[in-house]
Chain A
C-alpha cells in the first residue's frame, strides 16, 4: 500500500513519459470545461424558485405574499423570481452570498423561523438587512430590470412621475427608499425608531 502511494507520487511529480503535452493540456482543459458547466448548473439550480421555496419557511410566508403582487403576476407576464432580487448578479458578490447561505441552512436545521410566529418576530430584522443591501448598492437588483434611463414619465401616474423625475433623478433617493414592501408585505415597522423608516 505504501509502495503504491510512493509509485503514484513519483508519477505525479515527474514529467510524463508516455503522454504528449497536447493530450495533457487539451484533455485537462476540457475537463475544466465540464467542471465549469457543472458549476454554473449548480449556481442556476440554487437560484430557481423551486429551490428557494423548497423550504416551508419561504413557501408559506414570503412566497405567499409575493403572489398577488405585480412582481409575480401582471399584464405582460414579465416577472421576478427570488434570486433576481435577492442574489447579487455580480460574480464576487454572488459567491459571497452563496457562502452566506450557510446561515439559511443553519436556520433550516435549527428551526430559526420555522413557525409563523418565529418568522413574524424576525422578519423586520431580515427585511432591514435586505433594505440595507439595496441602499448600499443603489438598488442595483431593481435596476437590473428597471432601467431609469428607459423610464417614460408620460406613462407613469403623476405621483410616480414627480418622485422619479426629482429625488430619484438627482440621486437623493434610491428605489428601495420608497418601494419597501412592494414584493412582500411591509413588516410591522413599529419597532423601528421614528424618523428612521428610511
Chain B
C-alpha cells in the first residue's frame, strides 16, 4: 500500500511512523491556521454581510 521505505526492524519502523505522524500533524496545523481558518473567516464574514445586505433590501437602509 505505502511506497515509503520501512526498515524490517519494528522499533525503527515505529520511529519512522512517529516522525511521519509528527510531520503530518505540523502540516495539518499549518493548513488549518493559515489556509482553512482565513478562508472560513472570509466566507463567514462575507456571508454575514451578504445576508445583512439582503435584509436591508426589504427592511430599508440602516436606521429606518
Contact with B along A7-39 (1 / 0, CB 8 A): 110011000111100001001100110110011
**CB atoms of B49 and A39 under 8 A apart:** no
* Contacting residue for A28 out of B33, B42, B61, B64, CB 8 A: B33
B residues near A151, Cβ cutoff 8 Å: none
Q: Looking at the complex, which one of B18, B24, B34 makes contact with A8 (CB distance below 8 Å)? A: B24
Chain A residues closer than 8 Å to B24, beta-carbon distance: 7-8, 11
Inside 8 A of A90's CB, which chain B residues have their CB?
Answer: 62
Closest residue of chain B to A19 (Cβ to Cβ) is: B25
B residues less than 8 Å from A32 (CB atoms) = 33, 37
The main secondary structure of chain A at its interface with chain B is helix
Number of residues on chain A facing chain B (CB within 8 A): 35
Contact A19–B29 (Cβ < 8 Å): yes
Contact B25 A18 (CB under 8 A): yes
Contacts A93-B52, A95-B45; A3 near B21 (Cβ below 8 A): no
Interface, chain B (partner A; CB < 8 A): 1-2, 18, 21-22, 24-29, 32-34, 37-38, 41-42, 45-46, 48-50, 52-53, 56, 60-64
